[in-house]
Amino acid sequence: MKRKAFLVDTTRCTACRSCQVACKQWNKLEADSTVNRGSYENPPDLTPMLYNQIHFIEQDRGEDLRWLFINRRCLHCADAGCVKVCPSAGALYHTREGLVAYNRDKCIECHYCVNGCPFDVPRYDARRKVTKCHGCSDRVQNGLLPACVKACPTKTLQFGDRDQLIAEARAAGKKLYGEKDLGGLGVLYVLDDEPGTYRLPKNPAIPASIFFWKDVVKPLGILGFWGALGAAALHYVTVGPKKIDAPDEQQHKGGE
């Protein structure tokens, strides 16, 4: 199956937050109680009850206020840090469409994915199980659009064949964020400024220590275990054990 992806054209977003509401409705997520912080942004970050969020970037420029909006969510990386660190096979996984979904029954509550994600997306809910945007994999599998995309009135959010979305954006002369990073992100952004302004890493990558842990230490462990066992066995049959040749004292003294 061809890989599917989201395309988020932030230049079209009016921050109506229909996507937030539609997501909550489809996934049956309750409302978070929040406080007024003097911004329309609400809640201020992803929560266990909020799988996608419109992040407001409010730049005070004297007379002017610059408003930038971005739909934050799981970016459905092909080379996903969360899937890489998850010890429970199948708890976090790629669907046939290339979305990163999860099976909460298999989640072992280790929280590794929270640290493994380069974008700080996975959250744990009250039952201490992983939650995040799963790209409405249940809807997508049945030929429907993800709830957020369905609800978006401005075509900020699009969903479809990844190659086709990229080709269309290119034809329209738009620069994409995430085309090649982490094996290609499943959420491509059209940004109006530098990625850093949107709190997105410029060159997102699997953290070095996670790479070292999973791709160096682990193979080293296999090598070390069998290597040490092999070396011990080889030593025993070649050099042999250090036996005690000297007789015991009592025998030595001839039964004194």
Partner 1 sequence: MSNYVDRFDAFDRIVHWTLAVSFILLVLSGLGLFAHTFFGYFGLFGGPQQGIMAHKIAGVVFLVCSVLLFLRHMGELCRFDADDRRWIVKMGGYLSRRHEDIPQGKFNAGQKLFGIFSFVAALVMGITGYVIWEPTAFGRELTQFSLMLHGLFFVLWMVGMIVHVYLATIGNPGTLEGMLYGQVRKAWARKHASKWFQKVAGNR
CA angle, 28 as apex, 40 and 111 as ends, to 5°?
A: 85
CA 241/CA 179 separation, integer angstroms: 60
Nearer to partner 1, 58 or 125 (CB): 125
**Which pairing describes strands 176-177 and 187-190: parallel, antiparallel, or unpaired?**
antiparallel
Is 31 a residue that touches partner 1 (CB under 8 A)? no
User: What are the binding residues for [4Fe-4S] cluster?
Assistant: 13, 16, 19, 23, 74, 77, 82, 86, 107, 110, 113, 117, 133, 136, 148, 152
Residue 98 φ/ψ region, left for φ over 0, alpha for ψ in the -120 to 50 degree band, beta for the rest:
left
Distances (CA, A) of 178 to 5, 113, 117: 11, 20, 15
59-67, 153-161, 166-174, 208-216 -> range binding partner 1 (CB under 8 A): 208-216
Is 110 a residue that touches partner 1 (CB under 8 A)? yes
Number of residues that bind partner 1 (CB under 8 A): 44
End-to-end CA distance of the chain: 88
Is 144 a residue that touches partner 1 (CB under 8 A)? no
- Which positions lie near partner 1, rule CB under 8 A? 85, 87-89, 108-112, 114-116, 120, 124, 207, 209-210, 212-213, 217-218, 220-221, 224-225, 227-229, 231-232, 235-236, 239-250
